[in-house]
Amino acid sequence: MIEPARGTRGMAVAPHGLAAQAALAVLRDGGNAVEAMISAASTIAVVYPHMNSIGGDAFWLISVPGEPVRAIDACGAAAGAASVAAYAEQGITGSIPFRGGPAALTVAGTISGWDLAHQFSTTALAGRLPLTRLLADAIHYASAGVPVTRSQNANTRSKLDELRNIPGFAQAFLVDDQVPATGSLFRQPRMAATLDHLARVGLDDFYRGDLGASMARDLETAGSPLRRDDLTAHRAHWRTPLELAHSAGTVYNMTPPTQGLVSLLILGMLDRLGAAGMDPLGADFVHAAVESIKQAFRIRDRHITDPAHMKVLPQTFLEPGALDTLTAAIDMGVAAPWGRGKGPADTIWMGVIDDEGRAVSFIQSIYHEFGSGIVLPTSGVNWQNRGCSFSLDPAALNPLEPGRKPFHTLNPALARLSDGRTMVYGNMGGDGQPQTQSAVFTRTILQGMTPQAAISAPRWLLGRTWGRASESLKLESRFAPAVVEELRRRGHDVELLGEYDETVGHAGAIVRHPDGALEGGADPRSDGCVAAW
């Protein structure tokens, strides 16, 4: 059994070790958790480029002891020129393409989130480190190069046929027209120049400065409906996160347009089903979690959209009576019917807690692997395809409309527990995000596992995620054969994965105890680590 990392003065976890180390270096330089996360976010965008980019979106949860938990919504809206009618004029009527110009239809919000978080650090947390310091590691790795991970190599290879001819992709992600070999140095000189520019002139330049003007021109040339006005109109916003009253304390997650509500609903139902007394590797626990997932996804698929267009308040679903009703619909002996999920997504989740107990749970994404595939020629920015989650049916829950925010699978999680512990946790993987969150939180907080053991233990995934098209219940093969057979007996359509399969996502977690001791876990399925001080 791998022991959790332990420390006292600060800790960071990321799905790539260099991002966790970048955050820890900032903490050692006197930075706070927010500053450390900005450094980690910029670094991960460079060293794990198939999973995320500064051309994507991000969400933050920030906990400062003695103050309410805060959230940052750094999600970009659809272009002013993006509408069902406009796409029909281009002959696009069934669904929005996953790749190319029509897929790059929403503003990239992540840099605005860094900017708002940095302002908060400076004004409220006495943060003193300049952007030139916070972005220094990312700039170095983009310029000098970073060793290609097996994950980057495999994803580039598997998606090459559909991406090779997308504007800018081959120049950015191939070397001499070949997939870069695992372990070879991968350089991104245009990204280095872009990050250096932002560090010197300020992050707002991404939207309202020279960089914004350059990107708008390049996006239009690539066939995107985004224009300069879309970038200049964008702002990140503070939000009040959703809260679940749990038997162990209060659990927080992100508001719509994310599926943060789903993650909290699952935990609320598992709490009521008695998950604390279940075997964390047993059939009862997996069944209870999967059936809770089905109930939560039904709520998601009926209600969650851009909050400006929602007809109900999401917090009402977390009231005790509502959770009791959902839980009562679960049959512990028989699997309920299952339709289809929302599908795949590539993402990174990271967490930081500093020596004063300030904690950040953060998630950043470009949606599918390499997003839209478009890489802007001047800036080297790989643009997201998050707008593919819109429907071209005007009567749908998430119809494409100018200025509308897309549905997001992204959701960072954070808990303040009754015994004085604070926990940040999360993972990547579309529909898999709330599922793995339920496993990691419950195994750690209710079932007594360490964060590392909870993350390393075999996991499951109901439905599709990146690299998988089937809607089955997927189990890592380390589950005992008797557990697999019992789940099949209860009616689950079980498919077995590898022992440590990337399909179930990259998870991470940090727990801070009341005495200041920290322990964390990183996912052996990723290239990540926990960096502790």
- Strand 494-497 and strand 473-476: the pairing is parallel
> Taking the model in full, what pTM does it have?
0.96
Give the residue among 394, 240, 388 at the shortest CA–CA distance from 314.
240
∠ Cα 510 277 334 (to 5°): 110
CA distance 109 to 321: 36
Q: Could you list the active site residues?
A: 347
Task: Find out whether 273 and 438 touch, Cβ atoms under 8 Å.
Answer: no
The DSSP annotation for 380-426 comes to: -PBBP-GGGGSBS-TTSSSB--TTPPPPB----EEEEETTS-EEEEE
Q: What tens digit of pLDDT does each residue of 178-206 get?
A: 999 999 999 999 999 999 999 999 999 99
- pLDDT score recorded for residue 2: 82
Give the residue among 44, 41, 254 at the shortest CA–CA distance from 131.
41
Residues of the chain with pLDDT under 70: 1, 340-346, 464-469
- pLDDT score recorded for residue 344: 55
Give the residue among 107, 89, 87 at the shortest CA–CA distance from 97.
87
Q: Which amino acid is at 462?
A: L
Give the residue among 400, 417, 401 at the shortest CA–CA distance from 512.
417
Q: What is the DSSP letter of 101?
A: G
- pLDDT score recorded for residue 347: 83
Indicate the helix (H) or strand (E) that contains 17: helix 17-28
Task: Find out whether 269 and 307 touch, Cβ atoms under 8 Å.
Answer: no
Q: Find all residues with CB under 8 Å of 97, minimum gap 6, and list them.
A: 103, 388
**Three-state secondary structure call for residue 481:** helix
Q: In what order do the strands lie in the sheet with 10-14?
A: 237-239, 70-74, 57-63, 359-367, 346-354, 10-14, 529-532
Peptide bond into 257 cis (omega under 30): yes
- The token pair at 474 is 């997927």
Q: What tens digit of pLDDT does each residue of 63-90 get?
A: 999 999 999 999 999 999 999 999 999 9
Q: Which amino acid is at 477?
A: S
CA distance 176 to 179: 8
Task: Find out whether 347 and 14 touch, Cβ atoms under 8 Å.
Answer: no
CA distance 254 to 262: 10
